[in-house]
Amino acid sequence: MYRKGSNFERELKKSLEEKGFAVVRSAGSHGVDIIAGRNGTIYIFECKSTSKEKFYVKKEDIDKLISFSETFGGKPYLALKIKGKWLFINPHLLHTDGKNYALDYKKIQVIAIDFKELVGEDRQIKFDEII
């Protein structure tokens, strides 16, 4: 499981760098996995990778992500590689009643954004931008 996660971290780091972000990866479990910034926007990522449709993320991991992001001044995201697809979820939208967040692939797609949205490539053009 750790190898899958660290491979995803490296893939995400490389993809963000290709889109012009300055990126730092924190190997090992130190609270956050990746910090990325571009043009004053800072993202903080906790990365997870799974091939299962339903899985758990420790509440402690999400709490660390939120706390670090607030201290650092960045936008937190739970970065998921699930069933080969990359999803990015604002952790403030997750809910738990216990020690873990139970995540279901079908349900999280509604609150997730994809990589193109994250880096600003999937932006819809407003009518007044055309004029």
Name the strand (E) or helix (H) holding 18.
helix 2-18
Spot the catalytic one: 15, 26, 29, 69. Answer: 29
Edge to edge, the sheet with strand 34-38 lists 22-25, 34-38, 41-50, 75-82, 85-89, 112-113
Residue 33 labeled ligand binder: yes
CA distance readout (Å), 16 to 19, 99, 120: 5, 31, 12
For residue 31, what are the contacts with CB-CB under 8 A and spacing of at least 6? Answer: 64, 65, 67, 68
> Which residues is 85 bridged to in the sheet?
82
Q: Is 129 annotated as a binding residue?
A: no
Catalytic annotation present for 29: yes
Question: Is residue 104 marked as binding?
Answer: no
Rounded Cα distance, 59 and 101, in Å:
6
Q: Which residues are catalytic?
A: 29
Binding residues for Mg(2+): 9, 33, 46
Binding residues: 9, 33, 46
